[in-house]
Amino acid sequence: MKISGRLSTAVNLPLWILVASDCLVAASAIFIGATLRFGFDFELAQRITGPVLPRAAAFAIWLVVGLVSVGLYRARQRPRFTEICARVGLAVAIGGLADVLFFYFLPGLNTGRGILFIAMVVCGLVLPPMRFFMYRLFEVGSVRRRVLVIGSGHAASRIAALRRQSDKRRFEIVGYIPGGAPEREFAERAGFGPLFPTLEGALEQVSIDEIVVALDERRGAFPAQTLLEQKFHGIKITDIIDFLEQELEKIDLSVMYPGWFIYESDGYSNPLHSTLKRVFDASISAFMLILLSPVFLCVALSIWIEDGIRAPILYRQRRVGRNHQIFDLLKFRSMVVDAESDTGARWASSDDDRITRTGNILRRFRLDELPQLINVLTAEMSIVGPRPERPEFVDQISAAVPMYDYRHCVRPGITGWAQLNFPYGASVLDAREKLKYDLYYIKNADIIFDIFVLLQTLEVVIWGKATSMAGPSSENLDEVAARDQNVRPFDKRKRDAA
């Protein structure tokens, strides 16, 4: 049996390579800046500024924060070179500003304006071509995990159906092992492969890093003993649901069954996490309300200029919160007054004729959401969480989308994982797709994830769009809906039994 190097078994290896390379460039840039600033006399630089290494480490950390905030650590992205340049430039500016503020509070560790400026220029010149090269490197498979799939039926077809290169950046499929004659016939009709007759035979022919179990029918086809042996030898064994979750960063409803989610650990049910999250929410919302008070004033003046001094600034709308509690969500008014007086509740759309000119700007940069910081202070909402929906739509969606009500086990959020990965929802079909991201957030919720989402939200505010660089969906939503609704009940029962 051939087994490839253990290094490639790390699921997020490309991410850690990017982080390490960015930190190395940032730290080197500070050393280069210190050397150039003092005429290539590095010892003189250290006597004047102090030890360079801690200053280089601090700049590297802040640069990584800047790169996170502009979306350059998203696993599924396909940026053009010009977009990489623009985002790196902004990230370097954010990192440099954060570095200045950091040393303002710790003046004894000040880097110096000249050294910092040279370091920022070096990073701005080096990082874009290096990033572009690394993205291409990740796509050719040199650092991708080699994955063998046990199964070649409906569940396994979810892997074969991944069309975008960004969806498959971290792995490559070396083959499928049918669980029986029906699965072999299905794979041959669908045209994906290569197919191996047995797991033992596949292990003799190909090198692998991970085995994914994706059987439609596990009884009589689940090679427990062989899988256990491979696990002892260091091969990663993953269920199809977990595999798709880690690669797509959402819960795939087409292969998920309720029993799986019941036994999975989550963050929201941890009392310590709940307490820390509440402290985090209250602190951030109070700070942001003070910091953004000039923005509140400017938005109010803009609404009054367009609609008149008597026009309402805020808009209250009933939403469903945690445990199905109804609350009044606050927003800056972005539509005409009494927008639903004739039609009643209806979905908003990107070209909605009820949206005002000021409202278009507010919605594009998410400024209409800022008053919800008050909802956070009153514990009706959280900074990060699923978006709260209107009661009229909740009833409609819950009847059509299994497990939709589960998103109400946490406080709704101003921003969230679904908002970063999917644009404004305007239908039940959109709600089904966003639920996949909401369930992923609920399952993986912790303070670090919240901070990551907040930094990514800065990308949305700066670039004025709701999704990352991943591009349009790789699947037709009508196909997604049909697949999610047609998961066969006997598959769920047999997976539970296994």
Amino acid at 27: A
Q: At what angle do helices 52-69 and 113-139 cross, to 10 degrees?
A: 50
Taking residues 406-426, report their average pLDDT: 85
Q: Which of 459 and 239 is assigned the larger pLDDT?
A: 239
Residue 364, phi-psi category: left (phi > 0), alpha (psi -120 to 50), beta (remainder)? alpha
CATH of domain 145-248: 3.40.50.720
**Cβ partners under 8 Å of residue 53, min gap 6:** 27
Cα distances from 6 to residues 3, 9, 245, in angstroms, run 8, 5, 22
pLDDT band at 469 (very low <50, low <70, confident <90, very high): very low
pLDDT band at 289 (very low <50, low <70, confident <90, very high): very high
Please compute Rg for the chain using Cα positions: 26
Place of tokens 């993205």: 135
- CA–CA distance, 140 with 149 (Å, rounded to integer): 20
Structure tokens at 75: 């696993």
Report the pLDDT averaged over residues 447-453.
Answer: 86
Q: Structure tokens of 456?
A: 């990514």
Over the stretch 135-177, which tens digit does the pLDDT of each residue have?
A: 777 765 556 788 999 999 999 998 888 866 556 767 889 999 9
Smallest CA-to-CA distance from 28 within 55, 48, 50 is with 55
Mean pLDDT of 459-476: 52
Which of 127, 146, 224, 169 lies closest to 14, judged by CA? 169
Can you give the pLDDT at residue 395?
Answer: 87
> Which whole number is the average pLDDT over 315-330?
94
Q: What is the pLDDT of residue 340?
A: 59
Higher pLDDT, 78 or 218: 218
pLDDT band per the 50, 70, 90 thresholds, residue 477: very low
Backbone angles phi, psi at 65, to 5 degrees: -60, -45
Instruction: Provide the whole-model pTM.
Output: 0.73
* C-alpha–C-alpha distance, residues 16 and 229, integer Å: 29
Confidence of residue 255 (pLDDT cuts 50, 70, 90): confident
| Rounded-to-integer distance, Cα 334 and Cα 356, Å | 6
- 339, pLDDT greater than 70: no
What's the DSSP call for residue 405?
Answer: G
Query: For the ranges 161-170, 253-262, 355-364, 441-450, which has the lowest average pLDDT?
Result: 161-170
Task: Give the per-residue pLDDT at 273.
Answer: 81
CA pair distance 112, 46, nearest whole angstrom: 12
| Three-state DSSP string of 300-323 | HHHHHHHHCCCCCCEEEEEEECHH
pLDDT at 467 over 50: no
> Where does 248-356 show beta strands of DSSP type E?
314-320, 326-332
**Under a CB-based contact definition with an 8 Å cutoff, are residues 59 and 99 in contact?**
yes
Per-residue pLDDT at 480: 47
The Cα 143–Cα 172 span in angstroms is: 10
State the pLDDT at residue 140: 56
User: In this predicted model, which residue has the larger pLDDT, 450 or 465?
Assistant: 450
pLDDT of residue 72: 82
Q: In the prediction, which pLDDT does 90 show?
A: 87
223 token code pair: 């090679």
Give the confidence band of 104 by pLDDT, cuts at 50, 70, 90.
confident
Instruction: Choose the weakest-confidence range: 54-58, 261-265, 293-297, 383-387.
Output: 261-265
Decide if pLDDT at 11 tops 50. Answer: no
CB atoms within 10 A of CB 386: 25
Closest CA to 72 of 474, 456, 437: 456
Q: How far from the centroid of its chain's Cα atoms is residue 80's Cα? A: 19
Which tens digit of pLDDT belongs to each residue from 37-59? Answer: 776 666 666 666 667 788 888 89
Q: Which residue has the higher pLDDT, 452 or 23?
A: 23
CB atoms within 10 A of CB 464: 12
Q: How confident is the model at residue 92 (pLDDT cuts 50, 70, 90)?
A: very high
- Give the rounded percent of residues in the chain with a pLDDT score beyond 90: 31
> What does the pLDDT read at residue 452?
85
From residue 106, give the alpha-carbon distance in Å to each of 55, 61, 110, 294, 417. 11, 16, 7, 28, 34
How high does pLDDT run on average in the chain? 81
User: Mean pLDDT, to the nearest integer, of 377-388?
Assistant: 94
| Residue ranges of the chain assigned to CATH 3.40.50.720 | 145-248
Query: What whole-number distance in Å separates Cα of residue 347 and Cα of residue 426?
Result: 5
SS3 percent helix, strand, coil of the chain, rounded to 5, is: 60, 10, 35
Residue-level pLDDT at 68: 85
The answer to whether 437 touches 417, Cβ cutoff 8 Å, is yes
- Top pLDDT among 6 and 168 is at 168
Helix (H) or strand (E) holding 107: none
Q: How far is the C-alpha of 226 from the C-alpha of 228, rounded, in Å?
A: 5
Res 496 pLDDT > 80 = no
36-45, 81-90, 308-317, 332-341, range with the lowest pLDDT: 36-45
Element (H, E) at 11: none
